[in-house]
Structure 1
């Protein structure tokens, strides 16, 4: 029951964000802004705070990474509004109002206020619109952020606890399921960094997510190379950061996502077996996932787990491509790009 509840909670979160991305007005642009915010804050925090700071002992970078990691709400509100096309000064003042609030609060406020901010420019004279806009938007955005914060913390905390509890009770099963699902998200236009950051995953669940992304990197490399999806530069790019090849992924979802689930599930199971932990929420991506994990695990254990995850990811790609070519290729042909 705990496993069922944990996976159901994750699937509900994925379904909600997918529905928003594809159906809400400017949903895809807003989700891109959220992904940008996760990279701008949690990637910097993961590397500088946990690796350069806590592990290598560089105090300045530890303090700097901790500071940037706490700016998720500011970054999310600002970048979501900029992605949607809001005037930069309105985006910035709304973002600054999210100081000390989480990335999810910033995302929601930024999206809602992207419909309010343009009204100032539409109905007020030039110059007056900016003055009244910044004076009204900032405190109003702060008020909305504070109002929704307790409910969001409770909801995300409950989802994270369900996943964590299920993982502690059945680590190998959750390693398989969680690893497969997170790697699919990592390769999709959604952001696995943003998702794991909003859920606040830490410990073994975050370790599974990180290693799934590391191992799944080799899944993507094999799939792109074998199926000739783009040029060599596309193959290298999708291994380093899958979001850079979203235009190819979305045109060929069947072989890519199927292979990613298999490779991510294998890699996640290996992470659970080795007991890999990661206390850097939002580091669910190939490079940050590996580097952040260095700070929380014995080097020998992490080396063995990462090496085995890479092999497992490669195996997942082989199996996925074989299944696709044998059973699905005629019904779901590949979509190639002339320019790679």
Structure 2
């Protein structure tokens, strides 16, 4: 992941937002004021369990494309979902990387209550960035990233949600967990070519254009880098463009159950991420829960993004808890 961008569409949205500045400010104040405390529903999200799932993925090593660690971790993820009673399948495809490399990708799809016609999509990517190309030390730029946060944390939150759902009989919707592959093979900063947004999110692009006939989801939530220390999740721009109601639902839910400090009702950037093809190619309104560090000189995605320091030492269970409990609350609030 992930690239901040301002396309022509983004510029149009920015102009519209600027033109309605006063009403936007009033609306933001109203939304924050109306986010009253709400009672918890559904199971409790275990931060310790999610932390352990994050560490278990990192124990395989860097899960870079076409590596043994990648393949072994993929098998482990599938078995974990299956152990919680999910219906599990893989979507294998050879896709082309930015440099023409053939990448043997595997999207992992796990379904809770596959018979349910009303479905919610949860997704995250599970591959590791092959190059720490944003590391402050240039000698690390061609080293792989452990991806404890940028990869493992999102899958870990989904696994813990699956564990919490395994014996449930009260949830009124089905849930599809999709672990996207080949997300982080996008053009490296050191490459002598222009970055191309289409070199990112390759697994999500494939999934979005190869959906089972008749597949529908009410909406989707992408979990990207949801465990990093110091993370706050601003409202991402593409999410607001395509799924503003879902953004409002999630952020108001977070505030209502006591996690408003992690989910400030403020705008972040617009990103190239897995939710873009889900919105644009699959036609499923999908939001991105992704951190935004407006004052971080290293990166607006935080100090460990695409560096060799994206390790377990920089994972905070409290952040995993805030995201996981919020998503569970959203799921159990569905009718």
Same fold (TM over 0.5): no
Task: Report the TM range for the smaller structure's normalisation.
Answer: under 0.3
> TM-score, normalising length from structure 2?
0.27
- Whichever structure has more helix as a proportion of its residues is 1
Higher relative contact order (CA 8 A, sep 6+): 2
- Whichever structure has more strand as a proportion of its residues is 2
> TM-score, normalising length from structure 1?
0.26
